[in-house]
Amino acid sequence: MSLQILSVPSRPRTGPAAARVVGDALDAACATRVGTPLVARGEVDVVLDLRHAGRRALTLRYERFGDVTLPTVFVAGGISADRHVAASAALPGRGWWDAQCGDGKALDPRRHSVLAFDWLGADGCLDVPLDPADQADAIAALLDALRVERLQAFIGCSYGAMVGLQFAAAHSSRLSRLVAISGCHRSHPHASAWRALQRRAVALGALQCDDSHGLALARQLAILSYRTSAEFDRRFEAATVVGDRVRVGAEDYLDHCGATFANRFAPTAFVRLSESIDLQALNPESIRVPVTVVAVADDRLVPVSDAVELAERLRGDTRLHILQSLYGHDAFLKEGPAISAILSEALAGQEVAA
């Protein structure tokens, strides 16, 4: 193994489960070409053996951006990310990673076929424990259905990085390189404690017959774990008296974050995917494909020490980037130029290797 550690400054501030494809994804896909590149959105029916819930018939919902003859890059974000990575002429709605995916960007659909899917359980209909390894097996089943033999790269952020590590361990023959951003081989106990309290907020809302309020509160607690105290110090004013109560400067922002999230996410989906993060347990020595590990110095959820341990224990060629960012765990969403440079480097290396 060769390990390179790179510091990138920024702005100051257990075995695989069996899977069987039931449907034909190519027939199910709804493909549209508006100019170029090709955009396709579809569904695939599969049967998966889930690690904690047995055999289940499931539907995988995917989106593909870029001609299918191009090298495929799978992209996965946090638990709130979905299959719509970036806006396109055919599907113009805002994507969760527009900063990195699009013409002329690191994930350029003129050079790559960018593939993503909705997480198992994201629709709130699968109320069982979900292991990150289950998600990796679902991705392998999706690749089978789409007749993709090998990924040029798997790019995972946060929960997506955890799933990417699982995919690299269980399906290494199908992967040329993994980029794991702000996600490691384990859930840090302190981060798990944060999430346990968030799930209790959801449970309290259910007891009060107010699921939306409970989920909004959980999201507000999550935001505090994603971002840094330095950012809040820069953005928000001191507390003020409003009527007969004290209101702190960040409350309006947190209220907005909570309400927006509660309007688009199901409580069951949040709870089960939050639990899934805490189920992450992987032996890094089982991974022998090349990996780019990206950590953020002020990340409260994924400490740099865990990223360093991961990089040291991986058995393939490994590069470790450590970012400085005001935005903590959310740096992959906010630090556009730094993340773009890392992605471009990783993908360029694979293009040369290919």
DSSP result, 319-336 = EEEEE--TTGGGHHHH-H
User: Based on the domain organization, do 166 and 213 belong to the same domain?
Assistant: no
User: Based on the domain organization, do 152 and 272 belong to the same domain?
Assistant: no
**24 pLDDT higher than 80:** no
- Using pLDDT thresholds of 50, 70 and 90, give the confidence band for residue 353: very low
DSSP single-letter state for residue 215: H
Q: What is the mean pLDDT of the chain?
A: 91
User: What value does the mean pLDDT take over residues 335-353?
Assistant: 85
Q: For 80-115, write each residue's pLDDT tens digit.
A: 999 999 999 999 999 999 999 999 999 999 999 999
**198 pLDDT higher than 80:** yes
User: Based on the domain organization, do 107 and 217 belong to the same domain?
Assistant: no
- Using pLDDT thresholds of 50, 70 and 90, give the confidence band for residue 37: confident
Last residue of a domain, one of 276, 307, 342: 276
Residue 261's CATH number: 1.10.1740.110
User: Based on the domain organization, do 287 and 264 belong to the same domain?
Assistant: no
pLDDT of residue 185: 98
User: Based on the domain organization, do 261 and 302 belong to the same domain?
Assistant: no
Question: Residue 148: which of 116, 112, 174 has the closest Cα?
Answer: 174
- Phi-psi sector, 104: left (phi>0), alpha (psi -120 to 50), beta: left
User: Based on the domain organization, do 48 and 109 belong to the same domain?
Assistant: yes
User: Based on the domain organization, do 13 and 101 belong to the same domain?
Assistant: yes
Question: Residue 279: which of 178, 173, 165 has the closest Cα?
Answer: 165
* HEC readout, 126-193: CCCCCCHHHHHHHHHHHHHHHCCCCECEEEEECHHHHHHHHHHHHCHHHECCEEEECCCCECCHHHHH
**351 pLDDT higher than 90:** no
What's the number of domains the chain is made of? 2
The answer to which of 33-37, 171-175, 287-291 has the lowest mean pLDDT is 33-37
Q: For 205-244, write each residue's pLDDT tens digit.
A: 999 999 999 999 999 999 999 999 999 999 999 999 999 9
Annotated catalytic sites, by residue? Answer: 158, 299, 329
